[in-house]
Chains A and B, each alone.
Chain A
Amino acid sequence: MRTIEDLIACASVFAGLTPEQLELIAGCGRNDHADAGAFLFREGEPAERFYLIRSGSVALEVHAPGRGQLRIETLHEGDVLGWSWLFSPYRWGLDARVLEPSGLVVFDGTCLRGKCDSDHELGYQLMRRFAGLLMERLQATRFQLLDVYGNAHAAR
């Protein structure tokens, strides 16, 4: 049986952390499973956790009146879901809907923030990794905003 520490050790987001740091992070995690259609969180709810997707997929969506649920991005095996737990006011900005039965490691954000407050090296290492994720997704979102497959002539 693999421990939480084993599960997170092979995730790219935690690559390069020491065994002690992995142990601290794993101490705030638990294994979980979610069925297709379930919402892991909804916009506006308190953000007290984040997820490492072990298997399956999860969609980030926003509800727009008159347009229904709009799917912004899908996340898959190995992806981290959620960073609102890390920054005040700790509220989710989007809905997260499970698309297919998914295996997850769920991390208690409050627990981990507390460990980061008392161990600044852990906090720095974790912040570096989440800042990298934020940059990657911000760049992807900017690319999405370019609408490169649209009809450039029609837009003029």
Chain B
Amino acid sequence: MLTQHADEHHPEPGSRESMFPKPFEVLAARQETPDTSTLELKPLDSSEFRFAPGQFTMIAAGGSGEVPISISGDPGDPRILIHTVRGVGLATDALCAARPGEVLSVRGPFGAPWPMRDLEGADVVVAAGGIGLAPVRPALLSLLAGSDRYRRLVLLYGGRAPAQLLFQSELEAWAERGLEVLVTVDSAGPEWLGHVGVVTRLVNRAAIDPDRTVSLLCGPEVMMRFMAAALIDKGVARSRIYASMERNMQCGTGQCGHCQLGPTLVCRDGPVYRWDRLEPWLAIREL
């Protein structure tokens, strides 16, 4: 039986730690794609920042507003907090524009992580779409660090176009370390020699053994629905599929109720959900 919410690191709801932002200095900022940047942050008090793959923080630049952003760094290195942010509005544009030396405010980490312990011995199929590769990067780094504990590691990654694929040099490095990397884009020019087509088409290429597969999904909700359906069609049990959800998270601690999804709060009970529990709520359009 696969369980959820192992390896959790998060402040107690309502505690000072959960409610008061800590100042973090930007050590480095790297533009990944035209609208997406990766920030390396360090707490001003030089404390360690421990988190589990799949968790997020509430982060803000100046007075532009606080937003939930998944952590994209290495859980094995608590000295640096890494976020990969896509600029889609005032708050995220301000984060993307942050430069080394600037101080950002951070609360967290929050949320239920990927069930890393339950992946041991399995064929782990990570399926990410677009910016969704960032929230699964900590899981991928963790999987690769202990790769002998898994039977097979596969990444199915779909993007809009070649120039918008994240972590391109890392994808090659991960492949050299034993991750089976299959990448596709929705459209491309003739210079692109890789796959073109939707990410679900990669499921057939991956030669999945449904009884041994556990899958982690992260990307736009529509993409995750299509991907879960493709995996279920292949025979993967719903209870062996996990998805990272996104809703209007504000407090991060389950106090405000803005991110309600069915009987749960995404900031507290998610963002990672097991598909058999999540699927009935996704069918309710008002949610």
Chain A residues near B86 (CB, 8 Å)? Answer: 151
Interface string of B186-229 (1 = CB under 8 A from A): 11111011111110110011000000000000011011001000
By the criterion CB–CB under 8 Å, are A149 and B205 in contact? Answer: no
Q: Which of A76, A99, A152 contacts B205 (CB 8 A)?
A: A76
Assuming the contacts A71-B189, A140-B200, A154-B88, asked whether A148 and B195 have C-beta atoms less than 8 A apart, the reply is no
Chain A residues closer than 8 Å to B190, beta-carbon distance? 59, 61, 68-69, 71, 97
| Size bin of chain A's contact surface | 20 to 34
B31 within 8 A of A: no
Report the bound CA distance from A71 to B35 in whole Å: 23
Given the complex of chains A and B, what is the CA–CA distance between A70 and B222 in angstroms? Answer: 25
Residue of B nearest to A60 (CB): B196
Task: List, in ascending order, chain B residues with CB within 8 A of A147's CB.
Answer: 160, 186
Cβ of A74 under 8 Å from chain B: yes
Asked if A71 contacts B192 (CB within 8 A), the reply is: yes
Instruction: Mark interface residues in A55-90 (1 if CB within 8 Å of B CB, else 0).
Output: 000010100000011111110101000000000000
CB proximity to A under 8 Å, residues B137-168: 158-160, 164
Bound-state CA distance A150–B187 (Å) is: 12
Judged by a CB distance under 8 angstroms, whether A146 is at the interface is: yes
Whether A73 and B89, one on each chain, are in contact in the complex, defined by CB atoms closer than 8 angstroms, is no
- Whether B197 contacts A144 by the Cβ 8 Å rule is yes
Instruction: Tell whether B113 is near chain A: CB-to-CB under 8 Å.
Output: no
> Is B187 within 8 A of A72, CB to CB?
yes
Q: Which residues of B contact A99 (CB under 8 A)?
A: 193
Bound-state CA distance A76–B195 (Å) is: 9
Interface contacts (Cβ under 8 Å), in number, total: 70
- Bound-complex Cα distance A74 to B35 (A): 27
Complexed CA–CA distance, A154 and B92 (Å): 13
B108 at the A interface (CB under 8 A): no
- State whether A140 touches B197 (Cβ < 8 A): yes
The CA-CA distance from A76 to B205 in the complex, in Å, is 9
Interface 1/0 per residue, B25-61 and A, CB below 8 Å: 0000000000100000000000000000000000000
Verify if B109 is at the interface (C-beta below 8 Å from A).
Answer: no
Q: Is A2 an interface residue (CB 8 A)?
A: no
Cβ of A31 to closest chain B Cβ, rounded Å: 23
Proximity bits, A82-105, B CB within 8 Å = 1, else 0: 000000000000000101100000
On chain B, the residues within 8 Å of A144 by CB distance are: 186-187, 197-198
Name the B residues within 8 Å of A97 (CB-CB).
190
With an 8 A cutoff between CB atoms, is B130 at the interface? yes
* Chain B, residue nearest A153 (CB): B88
How far in angstroms is the closest Cβ of chain B from A64? Answer: 11
Contacts of B204 on A, CB cut-off 8 Å?
78
Can you list 30 A-B pairs with a CB-CB distance of less than 8 A?
A: A68-B190, A69-B189, A70-B187, A70-B189, A71-B190, A72-B196, A73-B197, A74-B194, A76-B195, A76-B205, A78-B204, A100-B193, A140-B198, A140-B201, A143-B198, A144-B186, A144-B187, A146-B222, A148-B130, A148-B222, A148-B223, A149-B131, A149-B158, A149-B159, A149-B160, A149-B186, A149-B220, A149-B223, A151-B35, A151-B86
Given A71-B192, A152-B88, 18 new contacts (CB under 8 A): A59-B196, A68-B190, A69-B190, A72-B196, A73-B196, A74-B195, A100-B193, A140-B201, A143-B226, A144-B186, A144-B187, A147-B160, A149-B160, A149-B164, A149-B186, A149-B219, A149-B220, A153-B88
